[in-house]
A and B are shown apart, each in its own frame.
Chain A
Amino acid sequence: MALDSSTVAVAAQNAAAANPRFGGRFTAAGLRRVAGKLGSLVLTLFLASLLVFFSRFLVPGDPVTFLLRGRKPSPEAIAQVTEQYGLDLPPWQQYLNWLVGAVQGDFGRSLQYRQDVSTVLGERLPVTLMLVVMAGLLIAIVGLSAGIVAALNRGKALDRFTLIGLTMLSAVPSFVGSIVLIAIFAVQLGWFPTFGSGEGFGDMVYHLVLPSIALAIVFVVLVGKVTRSSMVEQLDREHVEVAISRGLKRGTVIRRHVFRNALGPILTVSGILVAGLLVASTIVEAAFGLAGMGSLLVQSVDRLDFPVVQAIVMFVVTAFVVVNAIIDIAEPWIDPRSAAGAAAR
């Protein structure tokens, strides 16, 4: 049943008045909150791992045949795979073995590379991380600027122009961006390489310029739009008008009251971006022939190397959950109200 909101609000204020540090950051309540978030993180990861592991059991038929699809297994190979993955054990025990290994970074052996999954993944990860970091920087710079510029010119030509630009860009998926960038800047103009990730740090950055742009496009739109709408929402707030009425300069008001308060939604979206970038890099890596985690994922699906697929999925999911937990835990530094709980909102 809905509570009588005014009664509850008054009670919450009384509670706050009785304890002036209600909702403080380093209090016992604050620590409990962090512990709660960490518990929730572990639970989410646990449930996700169940989904990732047991999804295999959704496929009808014999697990050995599933794992060795597309290959012509000799009886020895079957025996080896059965032994290696413990396929003769009950499912929950297979899961426990996998989970214990996964927690220690051991995801079993790749069927196509005949190496540990972690080794294969370790070789591919740097390119992907570099790509994601470069795209992330681009997104932050371009997305934030576009959003801020649009919000501050709300309703004017510049805002319209930016919004139209963002809507157009939002329709350019990374594979389209990739081929257009390759066609123009690599093939026609010859400014950038069409293929590969280069040797050494500098060369790698050079090779990843076009891929990171292709990867960033759609996400720039996301950050740009959220920044704009969050800023616009704050611009309409009465406390902003109060700040203006007190004779603060426009720049000061924007910086201290509008942008500062608009940060929450922007950070939330950034958290969601992380997983999105890791997955979308799959497409960009395929387009630019980069030997990263994404192209490994596609190869592994293509060659039916399920242990590698599981490991990569789990990696992306973990990255998403951890980043979002960090943002969640950091929330009281952005919005002090969140520490006090829903009652005081």
Chain B
Amino acid sequence: MTTPTPTLAVEVMRAPRLRPAGITFGIALGIVSVMTLAAIFAPFIAPYPPDQLDFAAVNAGPSAAHWLGTDALGRDLLSRLIYGARTALLGPLLVVIGSTIIGMLLGLLAGWRGGWIDSVLGRVFDVLFAFPSLLLAIMAVALFGKGLIAPVIAMSIAYAPFVARLTRALVKAERTRPYVSAYRVQGFSGPWIALRRVLPNVTPIVGAQSTLNFGYVLAELAGLSFLGLGVQPPTPDWGAMINEAQPGIVGGFFLPAIVPAVAVVLVVVAVNIIGEELSERIGGEIPA
């Protein structure tokens, strides 16, 4: 019956936690902020309109006029990159917000109420897990046509079960803790405890996970554009830019593809570093 008290020795046995250095975290934050500002203020920052053709400089390398060179139609890559940040960041942002709200509410409901609600929701999540997010997005495009809206809605639905399952596991673990029983004994109502106390306690961990999801979604939506199923030309979009640049690669013109590719990698890496650092700092154990 006695709970073994953790001795100092046991605590010492645990190796120090590994965390990326503060500088890395700072750089990551910097990258994301710069990209966000670029997206918001694109018209004021970009040196050229994103679709302005310059036939005198087709597939040109970096120069004073075009810092990052131009593409096969002579469009300025830097300008397209800056404008492309808009769809690149907006899509994942919507998906993360949507999936987090849906997922947290359903997860809280399933984990807090348990019983048949939990069973039914669990079954629904099981079915949705069988549809990888990119597949669901492609299916949505097949049904509703190309663009950003259908895939964003589909991916919000595809990611919600992951958020929900995490929230559910956390809430279930939290619910068995004596502090929840203590609130009950003090006379607080179930919904009050669930919404005002348990939910805020699990939010940081779910939030860190959602940050990581942002990176995955960004990569997947860019992939969808790369397939020609997402954002459509001439709207500048990183995935679509790579798609358009693909024929040029065989001819040795790497820059028009590499520039947006690097942008994707940079943002995703930065977001992943932020997400990992956040979950380290929270230090919450994520139950299986």
Within the complex, are A and B direct neighbours (CB within 8 Å)?
A: yes
The residues of A with any CB-CB pair to B shorter than 8 Å are: 2, 5-6, 40, 43-44, 47-48, 51-52, 55-56, 58-59, 154-155, 159-160, 163-164, 167-168, 170-176, 179-180, 182-183, 187, 194-195, 218, 236, 265, 272, 275-276, 278-280, 282-283, 286-287, 297-298, 300-302, 304, 306, 309, 313, 316-317, 320-321
- Known A-B contacts A51-B127, A155-B15, A280-B134; the reply to A5 vs B176 at CB < 8 A is yes
Q: Which residues of B contact A51 (CB under 8 A)?
A: 127, 131
User: Chain A contacts of B257 at CB under 8 A?
Assistant: 179, 183
Q: Which of B257-284 contact A (CB under 8 A)?
A: 257-258, 261, 264-266, 268-269, 272-273, 276
A1 to B111, CA, bound (A): 12
With A167-B269, A167-B273, A265-B288 known as contacts, the answer to whether A183 contacts B249 (CB < 8 A) is yes
Residue of B nearest to A59 (CB): B143
Given the interface pairs A44-B127, A175-B226, A183-B249, the reply to whether A155 lies near B261 with Cβ below 8 Å is: no
Is there an interface contact between B123 and A47, defined as CB atoms closer than 8 Å?
A: yes
The answer to whether residues A168 and B219 also contact, given A55-B139, A155-B16 and a CB cut-off of 8 A, is: no
| Residue on A nearest B133 in the bound complex, by CB | A279
Inter-chain contact A173/B223, CB cutoff 8 Å: yes
Q: Are A317 and B258 in contact (CB under 8 A)?
A: no
Question: B272 touching A183 by the CB < 8 A rule?
Answer: no
Point out the residue from A44, A47, A163, A301 that lies within 8 Å of B141, measured CB to CB.
A301
Q: Is the CB of A6 within 8 A of B261?
A: no
Chain B residues closer than 8 Å to A58, beta-carbon distance? 143
A283 touches B227 (CB 8 A): yes
A47 to B120, CA, bound (A): 12
- Give chain B residues whose Cβ lies under 8 Å from the Cβ of A321: 130
Cβ contact within 8 Å between A59 and B144: yes
- CB neighbours (8 Å) of B215 from chain A are 170-171
A173 contacts across to B, CB distance below 8 A: 219-220, 222-223, 264, 268
A-B CB proximity, top 6 nearest = A171-B268, A171-B269, A173-B219, A176-B261, A175-B226, A279-B132
- Minimum distance in angstroms from A190 CB to a CB of chain B: 11
Distance (Å) between the CB of B81 and the closest chain A CB?
14
Contact A167/B18 with A174-B223, A313-B135 known, Cβ cut-off 8 Å: no
Q: How far is the CA of A43 from the CA of B13 in the complex (A)?
A: 47
Decide: A172 near B265, CB < 8 A? Known: A279-B132, A316-B132: yes
Flag if B130 contacts A275 (CB, 8 Å): yes
Determine if B130 and A317 form an interchain contact, defined as CB atoms under 8 angstroms apart: yes
A155 (CB) vs chain B CBs: closest residue:
B15
Given contacts A44-B123, A286-B226, A302-B229, 9 further A-B contacts (CB under 8 A): A40-B126, A171-B272, A236-B14, A279-B135, A280-B223, A283-B223, A286-B227, A301-B229, A309-B139
| Closest chain A residue to B265, Cβ basis | A171
Instruction: Assess A187 versus B272: contact at CB under 8 Å? Given A276-B132, A298-B227.
Output: no
Number of interface residues of B (CB under 8 A): 53
Q: Which residues of A contact B250 (CB under 8 A)?
A: 182, 187, 194-195
The residue of chain B having its C-beta at the shortest distance from the C-beta of A265 within the complex is B288
B239 at interface (Cβ–Cβ under 8 A)?
Answer: yes
User: Which residues 114-132 of B sit at the A interface, judged by CB distance below 8 A?
Assistant: 123, 126-127, 129-132
> Residues of B with Cβ closer than 8 Å to A?
1, 13-16, 18, 20, 123, 126-127, 129-132, 134-135, 138-139, 141-144, 175-176, 181, 215, 219-220, 222-223, 226-229, 239, 242, 246, 249-250, 252, 254, 257-258, 261, 264-266, 268-269, 272-273, 276, 288
The answer to whether A316 and B135 touch (CB under 8 A), given A43-B123, A179-B242, A187-B250, is yes
Q: Are A320 and B16 in contact (CB under 8 A)?
A: no
In the complex, the answer to whether B130 meets A159 with C-beta atoms within 8 Å is: no
Contacts of B254 in A (CB 8 A): 183, 187
Q: Is the CB of A302 within 8 A of B228?
A: yes
Q: What would be 7 A-B contacts, judged by CB atoms less than 8 Å apart?
A: A167-B20, A168-B269, A175-B239, A187-B249, A302-B229, A313-B139, A321-B130
Look across to chain A and name the residue whose beta carbon is closest to the beta carbon of B15. A155
Contacts A167-B276, A171-B265, A172-B265 given; does A301 touch B138 at CB 8 Å: yes
Return chain B residues, CB-CB under 8 Å to A174. Answer: 223
Contact of A306 among B142, B181, B239, B266 (CB under 8 A): B142
Q: Give, as a whole number of angstroms, the nearest-CB distance from B276 to chain A.
A: 7
Query: What is the distance, in angstroms, from B90's C-beta to the closest C-beta of chain A?
Result: 18
Question: Contact at A282–B138, with CB atoms within 8 Å?
Answer: yes
Inside 8 A of A164's CB, which chain B residues have their CB? 20
Q: Cα distance A254–B257 when bound, in Å?
A: 45
The minimal Cβ–Cβ distance linking A305 to chain B, given in whole angstroms, is 9
CB of B197, distance to nearest CB on chain A (Å)? 16
**Bound state CA distance, A194 and B222, in angstroms?**
22
